[in-house]
Amino acid sequence: MFRFLPRACVLLATLTFVSGCRSDVLPAVFGLGEGGIAAYAPGTLPVIVAHPGDQLIGQSANEAGRCIFANAAGRRFRADCPAGYKP
């Protein structure tokens, strides 16, 4: 059984190399010039607002006038505090 192990390793390495299975990240990690580069795309981020059913958790510590909310899935986000909100 062990006499076939070196041949199996060589065969596996050859098939992997020939199959073209390569990671897009691998060249970039090792500093090779063919690493994937994404073009810069200008745009704006959407304005995040609280919707009915979102739970108000409290005031944001580092943004005045903003509060922390949690949606139905439990994800937290920052949005403007409701009118008249006092911490």
* pLDDT value at residue 53: 94
The confidence band for 10, taking pLDDT boundaries of 50, 70 and 90, is confident
Mean confidence (pLDDT) of the chain: 81
* pLDDT value at residue 28: 62
Helix H or strand E segment including 26:
helix 26-29
Non-local (6+) Cβ contacts of 69 within 8 A are: 50, 54, 55, 56, 57, 76, 77, 78, 79
The pTM of the full predicted model, rounded to 2 decimals, is 0.51
Average pLDDT over residues 62-81: 95
Non-local (6+) Cβ contacts of 79 within 8 A are: 48, 49, 50, 54, 66, 67, 69
Q: Is the dihedral angle over the CA atoms 55, 56, 61, 66 positive or is it negative?
A: positive
Q: Indicate whether 54 pLDDT > 90.
A: yes
